[in-house]
Amino acid sequence: EVIVVDDGSTDGSAEAARRVSDDRVRVLHCPATGSAAGARNVGIAEVRGRFLTFQDSDDWWHPDKLDLQMRVLTDPANPSLVATGCNWRLMQPGIRLRGGDTSTNHQRFSREAILHGRLTGVINTPMLLIDTERAAQTPHFDTSFRSLEERDFLYQLLPAKGEPLAILDSVLVDVRRGRADHVANPEGTLSGYERFLSKYDAELTDYPDVRDWYHYCAMRESLILRRRTTTSLAAVCKLWSRPLTR
């Protein structure tokens, strides 16, 4: 099934989805949730199947992505596997992922690898495929996160023991950057690091170096934000000081 969540789009995408004549495609309409996490929760609540994956409106998948991940996730040799991720690349204009290295070679990781920040883009939502029956809890995004919600989401789903996560070596997702990453939105990213530090204070007590790393990341975003605010203020002051002209 494909669940399309329309939370206030204005680009005609909801109308395009409704024109798909396939009973497996369902279009959900809801008021603007204010975040991708909120929209994803609306979709999760309607899921009927065992396996769960996400696709953002502006990213692209390799045609074989789901097939390759399902092979790994359902392999009898991997009975404790809960989720798979994959590698990605920045989108190139006019070029879509076709062919290339499409093996099922992968590496296994523990839950702690997420807490320690060893995995970032490869566990973002467009890269994930999840077996909800093996997950430690029902999938749900914490909407109090303005960023890092994907890291928090997967950390909550994985059991504490073993290596329940596999990352495929293959590049299977084209990602478009510029909407809400830390370069474009340092304020939101700063808030995410602060929320992560608060929510996982007890877990991070055992890893002081990791805690320090999160504090460093928060400080970096704060400096980016301060520099931009100062630059903007300076630009306004400069404009204000110009003599008025007719």
Other C-beta atoms closer than 10 Å to the C-beta of 117 total: 14
Per-residue model confidence (pLDDT) at position 10: 84
Q: Which residue ranges in the chain fall short of pLDDT 50?
A: 182, 233-246
Per-residue model confidence (pLDDT) at position 12: 87
Q: Which amino acid, residue 109?
A: F
Cβ-count burial of 193 within 10 angstroms (0-12 exposed, 13-18 middle, 19+ buried)? buried
pTM of the entire predicted model: 0.85
In the block, which residue shows the tokens 């204010």?
34
Per-residue model confidence (pLDDT) at position 40: 94
- In angstroms, the CA 28 to CA 66 distance is 23
For 218-240, letters b (16+ CB in 10 Å) and e give beebbebbeeeeeeeeeeeeeee
Per-residue model confidence (pLDDT) at position 161: 93
Pair 59, 15: CB distance under 8 Å? no
Per-residue model confidence (pLDDT) at position 226: 82
- In angstroms, the CA 35 to CA 147 distance is 10
Residue 114 DSSP class? H
